[in-house]
Structure 1
Amino acid sequence: MAEIKAIFIILVLTLVSLVLIPLQWIAIRLRLPVQRKLPHVWHLVATRLVGIRIREEGAPADDRPLLIASNHASWVDITVVGSLMPLSFIAKSEVSGWPIFGLFAKLQRTVFVNRTRRTETGQVADTIATRMAAGDAMVLFAEGTSNDGNCVLPFRSALLGAATRAVANGNGSSVWVQPLSVAYQGFYGLPMGRAHRPHVAWYGDMELAGHLWGIFRHGALDVIVRWGTPVLVDGTTDRKVLTRQLENQVRAMTIASLLQKPVDSGELEPSEFFSNAEKTAKAGA
């Protein structure tokens, strides 16, 4: 039965893709607003078919420009996060060359980063800043790699500079950066536990095709997504301090989700991390 289910999912997703791919290609070429929404529809269909149940706590910021900084355990994160709202991702350049996934990433209007060429970081940050200024919510997997789903790795500050660069380039006086936690809690309605979390986590030298087939055969995942406190970034914001704040928030939310307990609010908002712009906003609230 599991094999039949997997084949059914692949067939339906193929049919949906054959309909949406040409529509998205046209929307991108003609710069139609629907180019933001069609990938969202695909991810909604995919999560429903696979049986991924998502519990969302908190909400994405309504304000723009917006950069979302998330943890990263698996390629499944992309479908989970993509099903929440219209958005685009920031990914390593190698993804653009992957079969099928590379095409989907391009159609999602992903910004690709070549991590071996640090001289391009500023140019990529400018591209991300321009996209945010145009109203696109951009998602950055700030660890720079995926992990086993049981922890949050240190965040890298380089591309978080896109937020401060957006301000410096005159794309507004401030930019919102919001932390996001994705945690896999259950499998077929039962607690997943540390030992079984690699079923969904994709990291190291795991083969993509085999992992993908396994998810299609044994979906039924329970995921909790937590939105953290948005941080208002202005020209005075220190990029490294911002990185630490976001990392602390995401780690606290992820640990709470894995342990199935409330988030310790004291860990989420260390006051010394607030930018001048955010202090002003809080004072005027």
Structure 2
Amino acid sequence: MMFFLRFALVAIAALLVTMVLLPAHFVTRWLKHPIRKQIEVCWHRAICKILGVKVEVRGTMVQPSGHGVLIAANHISWLDIIVLGSVAPISFVAKNEIKDWALFGSLAKWQESVFIDRSARLGVKAQADIINQRLLAGDNIVLFPEGTTSDGNFIYPFKSSLFGALGVGNAAISSPIQPVSIVYNKLCGLPMGRFKRPLAAWPGDIEIGPHLLGVISEPHLGVVVSFGEPVAQSEAMNRKEITMIVQTRVAEMTSRALRGR
């Protein structure tokens, strides 16, 4: 009975917040007013509070003069989008097919995500140009280079092909790349431990409905978001070298957060 009551309260609260902020977002997006990104941040922060997710931020996101930053983060759950969206005004790089997903497709469009087709090799330059234009316009773009989600206890190797699809390593993308680590580390204020950490994880073989219900039933999740030292691109570095540097920095920050440091 308590679970169903909490589920109802969460659903009603999320709906009310969305009803208040969505019209304002539509108008400001139509006007191309910068405040639309702050509206998105407010929405994500409200959803975190409603779900009972407490976000701890370490470090700061860089703000290059005149353009945005390309963020490369590890990926654990759909919650990552809510968590990162609550920290800074950002948009995401997403698979093209996500546009057709019922809930997350709408959320991705609202977040002004950049949809890419990984199979369209002939369109790589065009996709890179779109990303670069968004960065030059001041947008901060998030990429999940693992290409999938982990259980939260480790990170998968970053795929240099995903960086390549964005033009990283061939001077098509001028922005620095900032490594970001996401670690779900607490439950009810206590260290989560490796066996409970998968409670927040969303592997691809688990449907969103049951996982969402599981998150709602655990209203005291703690997550650490760590911003690392940006990686500046140069002509002497190819995408594989850049990928390895970014992966190493994300892995180091993840390891520190997992150890409680």
Please, what TM-score do these two structures have when normalized by structure 1? 0.85
Shift in Å, 1:140: 0.5
- Quote how far apart the aligned CAs of 1:220 are: 0.8
Judging changes above 3 Å, is the alpha-carbon distance between structure 1 residues 116 and 219 closer, same or farther for their aligned structure 2 residues?
A: farther
Does the 8 Å contact 1:178/1:231 carry over to 2?
yes
Give me the identity figure in percent.
Answer: 37
Which amino acid in the other structure matches residue 18 of structure 2?
S
Once the two structures are superposed, residues 246-268 of structure 1 have per-residue CA deviations (whole angstroms, 9 ceiling, x without a partner) of: 0001011112211223xxxxxxx
How big is each residue's C-alpha offset from its partner over 1:173-229, in whole Å with a ceiling of 9 and x where there is no partner? x42110000001111112212221221100131010111121122121111111111
**Local SS of the residue matching 1:160:** helix
Alpha-carbon separation, structure 2, partners of 1:143 and 1:208 = 20
Extract unaligned runs of 5+ from structure 2: none
Name the counterpart of 2:189: 189
- Structure 2 residue identity aligned to 1:26: V
Aligned-pair distance for 1:119? 3.0
1:4 and 2:5 correspond: yes
Which residue is 2:98 aligned to? Answer: 95
Counterpart-to-counterpart distance in 1, 2:121 and 2:218 = 40
Q: TM-score, normalised by structure 2?
A: 0.92
Query: Is residue 20 of structure 1 aligned with residue 38 of structure 2?
Result: no
Once structures 1 and 2 are overlaid, which stretch shifts more, 1-10 or 86-95? 1-10
Matched residue SS, 1:82: helix
Assess, with a 3 A threshold, how the Cα gap between structure 1 residues 166 and 81 changes in structure 2: closer, same or farther: farther
Change (3 A) 1:14 1:56: same
Q: For 2:232 and 2:167, locate their aligned partners in 1 and report how far apart those are by CA, in whole Å.
A: 10
1:196 counterpart letter in structure 2: K
Structure 1 regions of 5+ residues with no counterpart?
A: 262-285
In 1, Cα distance between equivalents of 2:215 and 2:111: 22
**Structure 2 match to 1:68:** 71
Shift of 1:48: 1.1
**Retained in 1: the 8 A contact 2:185–2:191?**
yes
Structure 2 counterparts to residues 170-185 of structure 1, below 5 A: 174-185=174-185
Aligned length: 257
Aligned equivalents of 2:98 and 2:199: distance in 1? 21
